[in-house]
Amino acid sequence: MGGSAFSPFKHRVFTVLWTATLISNIGTWMFNVTSGWVMTELSPSPLMVSMVQAATALPIFLFALPAGALGDLFDRRKLLLWTQFLLAVALFLFAGLLWKDGVNVWVLLLFTFITGVGSAFATPAWQAIVQRLVPRDTLAPAIALNGVSINIARAIGPALGGFILAAAGAVMTVLLDAVSYLAVVTALVWWRAAVTQADMLPRERLSGAMRAGVRFALHSMPLRHTLFRALAFFICASAYWALLPLVAKEILQGGPNLYGILLTALGIGAVAGAFLLPVMKKQVSADKIMMLATAGTALCSLMFAYGEHTGIGIAAGLISGVSWIIAVASLNISAQMALPDWVRARGLAIFQMVLFGAMTAGSLGWGQVAGVIGLPLALAMSGLLALFLIPVTAQFKLNMGEHHDYTPSGHWAEPVPTTFVSHDHGPVLVLLEYRIDDTDRDVFYSLMRELGIIRRRDGAIQWGFFEDVEDHGRFIEMFTVESWLAHLRQHARVSAADKILQDKIAALHRGATPPRVTHAVTPFASNHLQAIPKTHHD
């Protein structure tokens, strides 16, 4: 994870795509300003204004997992081409409706929802292709620079959007956003992605791929910890994001220009935070950085609530921007480092589901709270909740990739059945036998518990570990997978980190030969187990 903050720009493809997405992100923030402000004119209630944020976030929560599965199963470049093109078409249509005065609150929410759907299907693929654009040693700065792109756009887009909105109207800002998507389409057409090594196994079905993604997330402790931290942070941060138009209009007594200025302050703070993060990482751990970001979010929420002055609102925007990018970048890097390539888009999609699910629930919830107890008190409550959750979530550690190398190791020998086994034969039973001395039992038990998690994470639907009561020192591990094809995928997915663990277990084995491995399958047309006597060493 070395490399300077700007080292990814040495790679031409990264630079071109980064520039194109910057243009698109600027257009997106212009649209966000437009949609938020148009809603305040159509219906200024806190709930309806917060629904704009919810309509953007909800599709990502609903569709992120199938989108992530598609991003792992199909060509990510082509998937991105289609999503960006269709988003441009949708926005051209919305601009036409605005021009004809055909937009009410529900039409606005519908097209906001459509843009959210497009983002849902594009985001996992965008994040997953980063590793194809730069070497691994520049991955962390590349991820951070993607955050910088978003936040440079946040610094420029809102102010530009507010100016264009005031000078030329909502139609022009929406048209410019549509054109910005075409810039990304052009860059993707120009990019000729290198052909990756073809997978010799058949492509997973969509439903099976989604199940595999969820199974990995459930059994990957680094990813689970990241998701818990993300849920706590985004529930609290969603309050000021959803209610910011009302902060500008009601607390600070401003117009669309002030709303754009507040979003610009957020963007400037985020850009500053992106360059501050590498410095902070040299001084403190990722977990402490996350605590500081959460505390900063609490502070800015209180400032938005009770500042009642434009200068204080802008200062709160700067603090919230710094806190936001530090938290999002830390969580995103932690999620990336917790994922092997075979499940990367799905894992990142689950991360996006948590992020936008929390933003959706938080937006609607804080909008309801603000409608009942008032805007300032709702913002203050979100800040106090953020402070309360700092010690609660401290037990969930972020992963910076220090101990997890997910590079495929290929150290399992390919099974060689002596009878025909089709891909859909299943379930498959795998048995491993170990001989362990009494002095090594405690260490063996600990390693096997860790191995059980890995087996389930990579495809096992059942796992068990037994001691032979009639043959002292003999232990049997068993696990089952859905099909013979699913077991072959386990062979392809076993990683360098898995090999280290399995080598430790094998070193404790005291038999004359390595641990014996036996496979058995249920024949397609029979309920009896068909043993495969040929054994090998996984």
Residue range 183-192: mean pLDDT, rounded? 83
Helix, strand or coil for residue 463?
strand
Question: How much of the chain, in percent, has pLDDT values that exceed 90?
Answer: 16
Give the pair of three-digit tokens for residue 393: 């979530």
* pLDDT above 90 (res 228): yes
495 DSSP 8-state letter: B
| Alpha carbon separation from 223 to 124, 194, 218, 331, 450 (Å, rounded) | 15, 29, 8, 10, 15
Q: How far apart are CA 99 and CA 109, in angstroms?
A: 17
In this prediction, residue 386 has a pLDDT band, given cuts at 50, 70 and 90, of very high
Mean pLDDT score across all residues of the chain = 81
* pLDDT above 50 (res 525): no
In this prediction, residue 398 has a pLDDT band, given cuts at 50, 70 and 90, of confident
Helix, strand or coil for residue 10?
helix
In this prediction, residue 499 has a pLDDT band, given cuts at 50, 70 and 90, of confident
CA atoms within 13 A of residue 158's CA, in its CB half-sphere: 26
Contacts of 524-528 with CB under 8 Å at 24 or more apart are 524/422, 524/424, 524/425
Q: How far apart are CA 418 and CA 534, in angstroms?
A: 7
Q: Is 113 left (phi over 0), alpha (psi -120 to 50) or beta?
A: alpha
**Could you give the strand order of the β-sheet that contains 462-467, starting from the edge strand earlier in sequence?**
462-467, 474-481, 428-435, 516-521, 530-536
Q: Which helix (H) or strand (E) holds 425?
A: none
Picking from 23, 31, 38, the residue whose alpha carbon sits closest to that of residue 174 is: 31
Helix, strand or coil for residue 202?
coil
Question: pLDDT (tens digit, 9 = 90+) per residue, 454-486?
Answer: 888 888 888 998 999 999 989 999 999 888 888
When mean pLDDT is compared across 2-16, 244-258, 315-329, 522-536, the lowest value belongs to 522-536
* pLDDT above 80 (res 309): yes
**Which amino acid, residue 173?**
T
Q: How far apart are CA 244 and CA 250, in angstroms?
A: 10
- CA quadruple 343, 345, 346, 349: dihedral sign: positive
Question: pLDDT (tens digit, 9 = 90+) per residue, 61-119?
Answer: 778 778 777 777 777 788 888 888 888 888 888 888 878 777 787 888 888 888 888 87
Q: Which domains does the chain have, with CATH numbers?
A: 9-195+204-392 (1.20.1250.20), 428-536 (3.30.70.100)
Residue range 171-185: mean pLDDT, rounded? 83
Reported pTM: 0.73
Phi then psi dihedrals of residue 300, to 5 deg: -65, -35
Burial of 262 (0-12, 13-18, 19+ CB in 10 A): buried
The answer to whether 277 and 144 are in contact (CB under 8 A) is yes
SS (H, E, C) 90-127: HHHHHHHHHHCCCCCHHHHHHHHHHHHHHHHHHHHHHH
Task: Write down the residue that tokens 């990502």 correspond to.
Answer: 60
pLDDT, position 377: 93
Helix, strand or coil for residue 429?
strand
pLDDT, position 380: 93
Burial of 215 (0-12, 13-18, 19+ CB in 10 A): middle
* pLDDT above 50 (res 530): no
| Alpha carbon separation from 484 to 94, 481, 502 (Å, rounded) | 49, 8, 22
pLDDT, position 201: 66
When mean pLDDT is compared across 89-93, 271-275, 400-404, 462-466, the lowest value belongs to 400-404
Residue range 215-227: mean pLDDT, rounded? 89
The answer to whether 294 and 390 are in contact (CB under 8 A) is yes
Q: How far apart are CA 433 and CA 440, in angstroms?
A: 16
Q: How far is residue 240 CA from its own chain's centroid? A: 22
- CA quadruple 360, 366, 370, 372: dihedral sign: positive
* pLDDT above 50 (res 331): yes
pLDDT, position 200: 64
Question: pLDDT (tens digit, 9 = 90+) per residue, 36-50?
Answer: 777 777 776 777 777
Helix, strand or coil for residue 4?
coil
Question: pLDDT (tens digit, 9 = 90+) per residue, 433-444?
Answer: 999 999 999 999
Give the pair of three-digit tokens for residue 324: 């936001």
